[in-house]
């Protein structure tokens, strides 16, 4: 079975690199979003936290069942469908491409365009961001999305196969749509947000190790990240963001919320390329690690004594 999982992973990565994102109407994450939106529209005024928990289970169920059914057969069509679904759980090319596009806009002084495009990447108010703050927001987004959009789906694919990766993506999509602390989502999004925190807990910490590993000074980067990550209110996002700030020797700031690596240089737009290169290296290490783990749980990697 793990040989098939290895094939599915390699196919999904190749799909992402060669083709990229499927059309919106055919994108499984868009399907998840439509289910969530439909359920949200019918949310009651009372017992909203309980309804949020039910939303989580209801949305996960069809995708988890699809993953289970597809991985019970080695039929070529099931494998192709599995590749397509797994690819939808991570977005490598889109993440790096979006960051590079913002860098190009910053270098041409198109700050209004940058503010508009950043609204799709970050949750903060982008209307008053200057060049430095926009650069910081972009680098933070690349770092955080390395966990949410690449490492964690692969982590759960190794542990639980396609159903695990799909279930995580549902939770992460729920968190991005309703996991806010302000009304009307404070109660409705409570369970999805907490489940998302739980599922990202281990991968977020692994991400700091990997980012440190591919940096120019692994030991110093890791020491710095251990000190800096606690400055963010999130239990998870501080790890990859702090590790990236420390690896690049820059300050990353979310105005009014946190400042990481405060004694370092302020980030210029060309630092986005450096951040993308760093996270690309971390992504390669992550994929190689997943391949090795899947490979070594098959008979191909067993040593007979």
Q: What is the pLDDT, as a whole number, of residue 300? A: 56
Query: How many structural domains is the chain composed of?
Result: 1
Q: What is the pLDDT, as a whole number, of residue 1? A: 58
CB 138 within 8 A of CB 121: yes
Whether the pLDDT of residue 146 is over 80: the answer is yes
Q: What is the pLDDT of residues 91-122, one digit of tens each?
A: 999 999 999 999 999 999 999 999 998 987 88
Whether the pLDDT of residue 225 is over 80: the answer is yes
Q: What is the pLDDT of residues 44-70, one digit of tens each?
A: 999 999 999 999 999 999 999 999 999
Q: What is the pLDDT, as a whole number, of residue 302? A: 57
Mean pLDDT over residues 199-214, rounded? 98
Q: What is the pLDDT, as a whole number, of residue 305? A: 39
Q: What is the pLDDT, as a whole number, of residue 127? A: 86
Domain that holds residue 36: 2-301
| Angle subtended at Cα 131 by Cα 106 and Cα 246, rounded to the nearest 5 degrees | 100
What percent of the chain stands above pLDDT 90? 88
- Average pLDDT value over all residues in the chain: 94
């Amino acid at each position: 079975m793990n040989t098939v999982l290895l094939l599915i992973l390699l196919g999904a990565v190749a799909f992402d690199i060669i083709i990229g994102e499927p059309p919106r109407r055919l994108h499984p994450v868009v399907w998840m979003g439509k289910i969530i939106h439909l359920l949200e529209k019918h949310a009651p005024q009372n017992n909203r936290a309980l309804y949020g928990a039910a939303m989580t289970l209801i949305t996960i169920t069809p995708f988890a069942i699809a993953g289970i059914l597809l991985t019970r057969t080695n039929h070529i069509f099931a494998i192709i469908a599995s590749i397509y679904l797994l690819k939808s759980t991570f977005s490598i090319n889109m993440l790096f491409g979006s960051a590079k596009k913002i860098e190009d806009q910053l270098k041409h002084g198109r700050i209004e365009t940058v503010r508009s495009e950043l609204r799709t990447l970050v949750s903060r108010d982008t209307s008053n961001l200057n060049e430095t703050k926009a650069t910081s927001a972009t680098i933070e987004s690349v770092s955080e999305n390395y966990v949410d959009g690449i490492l964690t789906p692969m982590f759960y694919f190794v542990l639980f196969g396609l159903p695990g990766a799909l279930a995580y993506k549902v939770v992460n999509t729920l968190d991005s749509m309703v996991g806010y602390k302000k009304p009307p989502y404070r109660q409705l999004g409570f369970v999805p947000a907490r489940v998302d925190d739980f599922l990202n807990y281990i991968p977020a910490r692994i991400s700091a190790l990997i980012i440190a590993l591919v940096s120019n000074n692994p030991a110093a980067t890791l020491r710095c990240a251990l000190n800096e990550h606690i400055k963010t209110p999130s239990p998870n996002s501080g790890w990859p963001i702090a590790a990236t700030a420390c690896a690049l020797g820059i300050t990353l700031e979310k105005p009014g919320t946190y400042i990481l690596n405060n004694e370092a240089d302020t980030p210029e737009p060309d630092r986005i390329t450096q951040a993308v290169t760093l996270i690309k290296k971390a992504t390669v290490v992550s994929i190689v690690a997943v391949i090795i783990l899947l490979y070594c749980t098959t008979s191909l990697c067993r040593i007979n004594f």
